[in-house]
Amino acid sequence: MEQRRGENRPESWGVSHGIAGTLLGEMALCAKKRPPEEERRARANDREYNERFQYASNCIKTSKYNILTFLPVNLFEQFQEVANTYFLFLLILQLIPQISSLSWFTTIVPLVLVLTITAVKDATDDYFRHKSDNQVNNRQSQVLINGILQQEQWMNVCVGDIIKLENNQFVAADLLLLSSSEPHGLCYIETAELDGETNMKVRQAIPVTSELGDISKLAKFDGEVICEPPNNKLDKFSGTLYWKENKFPLSNQNMLLRGCVLRNTEWCFGLVIFAGPDTKLMQNSGRTKFKRTSIDRLMNTLVLWIFGFLVCMGVILAIGNAIWEHEVGTRFQVYLPWDEAVDSAFFSGFLSFWSYIIILNTVVPISLYVSVEVIRLGHSYFINWDKKMFCMKKRTPAEARTTTLNEELGQVEYIFSDKTGTLTQNIMVFNKCSINGRSYGDVFDVLGHKAELGERPEPVNFSFNPLADKKFLFWDPTLLEAVKMGDPHTHEFFRLLSLCHTVMSEEKNEGELYYKAQSPDEGALVTAARNFGFVFRSRTPKTITVHEMGTAITYQLLAILDFNNIRKRMSVIVRNPEGKIRLYCKGADTILLDRLHHSTQELLNTTTDHLNEYAGEGLRTLVLAYKDLDEEYYEEWAERRLQASLAQDSREDRLASVYEEVESDMLLLGATAIEDKLQQGVPETIALLTLANIKIWVLTGDKQETAVNIGYSCKMLTDDMTEVFIVTGHTVLEVREELRKAREKMMDSSRTVGNGFTYQEKLSSSKLTSVLEAVAGEYALVINGHSLAHALEADMELEFLETACACKAVICCRVTPLQKAQVVELVKKYKKAVTLAIGDGANDVSMIKTAHIGVGISGQEGIQAVLASDYSFSQFKFLQRLLLVHGRWSYLRMCKFLCYFFYKNFAFTMVHFWFGFFCGFSAQTVYDQYFITLYNIVYTSLPVLAMGVFDQDVPEQRSMEYPKLYEPGQLNLLFNKREFFICIAQGIYTSVLMFFIPYGAFAEATRDDGTQLADYQSFAVTVATSLVIVVSVQIGLDTGYWTAINHFFIWGSLAVYFAILFAMHSNGLFDMFPNQFRFVGNAQNTLAQPTVWLTIVLTTVVCIMPVVAFRFLRLNLKPDLSDTVRYTQLVRKKQKAQHRCMRRVGRTGSRRSGYAFSHQEGFGELIMSGKNMRLSSLALSGFTTRSSSSWIESLRRKKSDSASSPSGGADKPLKG
């Protein structure tokens, strides 16, 4: 049998087996990493043979640690972070007695705290991964071993095993379906875990194995499968079954993938092809690319700068120490000797350098990174808890699926959106049709005028049809009359709709039909045929039963020529009861109209007019055609199709060629028009985001007319626009010329800026992009997929980007998923702007993953987009709240947090620097070590966290009402290098006063009893108390939105400071730890002196008053827009002004629209194998008249002028 079967195998059979045998020894030695497979071979019921290839077992492992490896591996991972390594280095320095001026616990306590918190989080996550792995691996499965069905755990299932599945069981591995309890080897599965779709799908065994229903036959089955190696393509499988000296082609429709659930099928048997990590489910579970925000990248740069500043301070103080020891210290050797290891002033300076590195390291405390993550987590919960982003209809809340990108939501400049299901509802309604040159669907009044929806009479009555869908509505009674009168063209039209599809029908009760369609388009068309008397009732792999006007007719299904994204059409070939063979085809007009017989030219012209009319109304269109085939031609064609399906290589191309041949010279029947309504609130959302200076690009697979019409419907395109450029060139030269003309028109219409100066004179030194983006007037760009393919080529992408970025709106039509990602990548590559991609389907996943921020809409196309996204919700209108409220607040809070954090730590740390000049550069600290340890962990941590989590400048209503408030985030105004240096300067200023005011005051001060006040510990208490009070008052000034939590944390932290201070200087602690707490009663004695409190008050006033004065002057002389909004709000409260009316801008223009076929490939082969928020007037009025916003405009112009042009900045790093 072995030899006989080998006769039909490819020549590489023996060669590859020889190679496999040669490599067996090496593979046994290095089994940790198997060489990549070129093909998979699996023989049924032969474990010994299959084990030779060392295929992966069915045990899955998603966990990272075990009990023994957790500690070392987790610590190793954590110390991959530069910050953790930096603090570990400091800890090691502090353990060296010669240079340590601080106790080791000042660093180890916060470091261990951070490491522990992270380790607990990682351990918890891994525990749940272990739990999930064990649950999956220990599931039971029935495996055929030695002719007997035995219960085995999933982890013990091997490649080549035959396993039995029962109804509602999960599929254990990727299986080749051999047989099932259903006729013709059919079985039904649910693939929600794979692609998020809950509708059932059908799979079918190949005919030769579908009869292997009993155990004895399956035990003797020794067929061998040669197929593609493991990969992550869920919708494709190519292989061949060799059995009984024959070979049988295998496709994805014969496969049951791990993660599916068997439904409505009593049992089935399958052959394991891929197991464990080789299954397509596990192959698709790779890690998503980690995204970082622009603030993260800036922080990393700033931390390096601070470290450089720290080294400079260390060098200055070390040089000072060496000079002081050489000039002064040598005179005190008798009672202040050097340490034993120190033999020179130079070496003393060297040790002093490391000591000061330890002391001054708090300029970048480890608590910074922990606090940032806590704040981001809080912001994520606010998004999850937002009831205004909760969809009651679907019971779906908004979800922040990542915690690292929240502040970047406040910096978005470009939004890339899908159309179908994102801007529209993806719920299809059969609206109009054209049959034999006559259009149906419009209703006319007695005067012959088209009636609007609200003026229409009752819908068509389908009571004649007991099988009609009661939810279906149609308004034109003339179409039903044509059907009842027996018009042959109308009957053929609906016959095509009832036959040419891949819908599955389920009849739970007599007359209660439920259609399960893979796309909403198909469901709408079959339902329309059903209501008009052509009811698709049931199907088998070889037949389709239709009730035509009450009469059951069964058609023999000869072939299904399946849909795919290249063909953009599908066909069926059927034989009617009279024996006549006919091909029915439906597809995109751009494809089908070229395949019609020349005799239909007159009808074609009329139908094309109807298509344009439907497109102008925003309807999705399909063209229907048919062709009669004679028996002899069909038999010859069917043989060629069979040979193409058995081809080992280029199978799909050969089939496409065969299909192309038969789908020619067809006769036109008519066209359908389906309505896909806009989602609620889309026009208002787009208008609001546009006012926030966010550019919206629509990337869709729909035809140009459809996309343009939707653009007008949702107010992306308006009739007030200067011009809408449409690029439709088929060659590189045509596309380049069209883009050039568009740029020239934009430049010509805005040639003169004013005072006689042209753009070239005024902006002679600026880049072209800056000029284009400053042109007057509003423009839009519409580009087709074939033109976009040329525009994205390396030598033209910059021209395309320059033109597109100068337009207010961009619509890309007929684009592939890859092109969507390429467009997003192009903007990311050349523009210093944050991008956001939003979509709802699997075709949007690449775009969502490419953009800085990905948003998934849980809609009608499953949850693939949601699973790949960073944020998700159910309706497009929630995007305005996500960006203008949550995004803007997150950015504001994070910026204020960082500014304050760097300020308070420089104010705290730089006091040591000034003190060094007065202590002989001896690395003596100003504060005691407990204050240094607790300053960032206890005394100042909670107030800044409260500000970072809860602060807001204006209420959420004002954020939506004044979208211009969003622009500071786009311009990165609130935290940048300039703001950082201002914070540092303020911190250094505060540290100077914090040290020198108490130093000067203590120089001549005395206590109440006349003794000298100036001693080291009293000075330390005074400076520390001044510092805590100053930074607490400062955060009070920085807080714009006070809550009970802010009050509690700020004043509570002050209270905790004094409680700990008095406790550390108490008798109780001294009695317990006399070596650690030596200064008994010092705090009480120091703070009892009026001089000390006068010093503290003076220090606080001098530190804070310049800040108050500066902010007062800025508020009065140059307020920003948020200041103006807050003032307006106060005036409104006082005057109780009447709320301004809200209005909606109506659309008067008209454009075209058209077809999109939301369909997937494979169903045909399977079956044949046998198988408002409205805008307030304030929001719409614009803000150009407000002086407070003019500074934003000027900054934006500066940014545009200085931004690197695409034509010259390709090699420059970009801000994310």
The residues annotated as belonging to the active site are: 418
From the number of C-beta atoms within 10 Å of its C-beta (0-12, 13-18, 19+), residue 1215 rates as middle
Q: Is the separation of the CB atoms in 101 and 926 below 8 Å? A: no
Q: Where are the beta strands (DSSP E) in 5-97?
A: 40-43
3-state DSSP assignment of residue 874: coil
**Tokens linked to 863:** 């949850």
Q: Is the separation of the CB atoms in 852 and 828 below 8 Å? A: yes
Residue 707's alpha-carbon distances to 211, 423, 566, 688, in angstroms, are 50, 11, 19, 20
Q: What is d(CA 550, CA 1153) in angstroms, rounded to the nearest whole number?
A: 36
3-state DSSP assignment of residue 789: helix
Residue 1073's alpha-carbon distances to 400, 747, 1059, 1076, in angstroms, are 49, 80, 18, 6
Q: What is d(CA 641, CA 632) in angstroms, rounded to the nearest whole number?
A: 14
Q: Which of 943, 712, 969 lies closest to 834, judged by CA?
A: 969
Amino acid occupying residue 424: T
Q: Is the separation of the CB atoms in 674 and 494 below 8 Å? A: no
Dihedral angle of Cα 1191, 1196, 1201, 1206, to the nearest 10 degrees: 180
Q: What is d(CA 34, CA 17) in angstroms, rounded to the nearest whole number?
A: 16
Q: What is d(CA 923, CA 929) in angstroms, rounded to the nearest whole number?
A: 13
Amino acid occupying residue 338: W
Q: What is d(CA 377, CA 1060) in angstroms, rounded to the nearest whole number?
A: 30
B/e letters for 303-340, b = 16+ CB within 10 Å, e = fewer, are: beebbeebeebbebbbebbbebbeeebeeeeeeeebee
**DSSP 8-state class, residue 450:** B
Q: Which residues contact 121 (CB under 8 A, 6 or more apart)?
A: none
Q: Is the separation of the CB atoms in 895 and 974 below 8 Å? A: yes
H helix or E strand, kind and range, residue 547: strand 543-548
Give one DSSP letter per residue of 910-969, joined into a string. Answer: HHHHHHHTTTTT----SS-HHHHHHIIIIITHHHHHHHHHH--SS-HHHHHH-GGGGHHH
**Tokens linked to 189:** 């599965």
Provide the CA 649 distance to its chain's centre, in angstroms.
Answer: 36
From the number of C-beta atoms within 10 Å of its C-beta (0-12, 13-18, 19+), residue 97 rates as exposed
**Tokens linked to 124:** 């918890």
H helix or E strand, kind and range, residue 697: strand 695-699
Q: What is d(CA 1083, CA 551) in angstroms, rounded to the nearest whole number?
A: 101
3-state DSSP assignment of residue 629: strand
Q: On the CB side of 936, how many CA atoms lie within 13 Å of its CA?
A: 31
Q: Which of 505, 489, 633, 651 lies closest to 573, judged by CA?
A: 633
Q: What is d(CA 189, CA 823) in angstroms, rounded to the nearest whole number?
A: 36
Q: What is d(CA 417, CA 812) in angstroms, rounded to the nearest whole number?
A: 10
